[in-house]
């Protein structure tokens, strides 16, 4: 390994914070994916400071209502299956069936060829997972009707999505048993932070009790997994943002919230 490569690897640990062998595994795994997404959950006590530092305003941000479909005890999520739909007033609603974690080598060539199918690394400081997602656009109005139980879930999914979902349902779980967990009110803004040409996506999720989640994320090509992490860590630290706090995905946070507050669904 060259000196420059070693320097980049060390600098990337400002974001990844992984044992050296695990970082090597990440680099190798990334080569088998379509892209890498770097994510950081900001502690709620730091939300205001981060918004001020990055000059974030959600006044005219894109709005979404996010729902997950799972069993009441989150059996799908615990088995690595995620079904999420989003209601978006200013664009097409969408649905995704996601497998996480997944082995890229185990995915069928037919799925990998689909333009709607993506294999990516979801990375956070201290951890990463490989995921596979099959997405689709939805007809207006169907999301709310399914969430209220007026239409069956299969009305939101394409045939390929239904095949993928049913093939990975846990033993004993039927499609009709899945219920809506949500909604979460989401706001999204895209920024270009001084010092970095890569776009930074800022998402604020607000739960029914008013508690909030703030996530910063950026995407890169698989071959940029070290350089992008190093640059992202530097830029965020330069803006006073701490990368050492506890991390948990938005999906895990949302499902845990609605499991603990069933009356909020």
User: Residue 53: what pLDDT?
Assistant: 96
Domain of residue 191: give its range.
Answer: 3-264
Number of domains in the chain: 1
Does this model's pTM top 0.75? My answer is: yes
Confirm if 78 and 94 have CB atoms less than 8 A apart.
no
Per-residue pLDDT of 159-211, as tens digits, reads 999 999 999 999 999 999 999 999 999 999 999 887 777 899 999 999 999 99
Task: Please list, in sequence order, all residues whose beta carbon lies within 8 angstroms of the beta carbon of residue 238, skipping any fewer than 6 positions away.
Answer: 195
Least confident of 82-96, 187-201, 206-220: 187-201
pLDDT at residue 90, rounded to an integer: 82
User: φ, ψ for residue 123 (rounded to 5)?
Assistant: -115, 140
Q: Using a pLDDT cut of 90, give the percent of the chain over it.
A: 90
Mean local confidence (pLDDT), 8-23 = 97
Picking from 197, 194, 201, 234, the residue whose alpha carbon sits closest to that of residue 12 is 234
Q: Which of 71-85, 181-195, 251-265 has the highest mean pLDDT?
A: 71-85
pLDDT of residue 265: 76
* DSSP secondary structure string for all residues of 61-92: -EEEEEEEEE-TT-HHHHTTEEEEEEE-TTS-
Q: Token digits for 197? A: 């040409």
DSSP state of 248: -
Cα 3 to Cα 9, 31, 46, 52, 211: the distances in Å are 10, 22, 36, 38, 46
pLDDT number for residue 141 = 83
CB 37 within 8 A of CB 123: yes
The pLDDT value given to residue 264: 77
Give me the residue label for tokens 């093939």.
167
pLDDT at 3: 67
| pLDDT of amino acid 211 | 97
In the DSSP assignment, the letter for residue 169 is P
Task: Quote the distance between the C-alpha of residue 37 and its chain's center.
Answer: 8
CATH no. for residue 73? 2.40.320.10
Q: pLDDT per residue over 37-65, tens digit each?
A: 999 999 999 999 999 999 999 999 999 99
Average pLDDT, the chain: 95
- If one counts every other C-beta atom within 10 angstroms of the C-beta of residue 36, the result is 25
Q: Return the percentage of the chain with pLDDT > 70, whole number.
A: 98
Instruction: Concatenate the DSSP letters of all residues of 217-235 into one string.
Output: EEEE-GGGHHHHHHHHHHH
Q: 163-194 as b/e, with b when 16 or more CB fall inside 10 Å?
A: ebbeeebeeebeeeebbbbbbbebbbbeeebe
- Judged against a pLDDT cut of 90, whether residue 246 lies above it is answered with yes
């Amino acid at each position: 390994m060259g000196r420059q490569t070693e320097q980049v690897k060390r600098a990337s640990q400002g974001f990844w914070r992984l044992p050296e062998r695990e970082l090597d595994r990440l680099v190798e795994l990334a080569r088998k994916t379509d892209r890498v997404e770097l994510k950081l959950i900001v502690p709620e006590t730091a939300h205001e400071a981060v918004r001020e530092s990055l000059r974030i305003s959600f006044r005219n941000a894109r709005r979404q209502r996010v729902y997950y479909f799972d069993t009441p005890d989150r059996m799908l999520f615990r088995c690595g299956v995620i079904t999420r739909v989003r209601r978006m007033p200013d664009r097409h609603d969408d649905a995704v069936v996601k497998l996480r974690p997944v082995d890229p080598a185990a995915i069928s060539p037919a799925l990998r060829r689909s333009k709607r199918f993506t294999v990516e690394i979801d990375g956070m400081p201290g951890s990463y997972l490989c995921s596979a997602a099959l997405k689709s656009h939805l007809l207006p109005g169907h999301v709310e009707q399914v969430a209220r139980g007026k239409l069956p879930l299969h009305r939101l999914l394409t045939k390929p999505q239904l095949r993928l979902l049913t093939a990975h349902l846990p033993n004993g779980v039927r499609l009709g048993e899945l219920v809506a967990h949500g909604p979460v009110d989401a706001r999204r803004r895209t920024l270009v932070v001084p010092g970095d040409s890569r776009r930074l996506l800022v998402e604020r999720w607000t739960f029914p009790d008013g508690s909030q989640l703030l996530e910063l994320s950026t995407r890169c090509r698989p071959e940029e997994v070290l350089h992008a992490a190093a640059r992202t860590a530097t830029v965020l630290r330069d803006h006073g943002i701490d990368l050492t706090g506890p991390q948990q995905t938005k999906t895990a946070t949302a499902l845990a919230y609605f499991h603990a507050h069933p009356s909020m669904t």
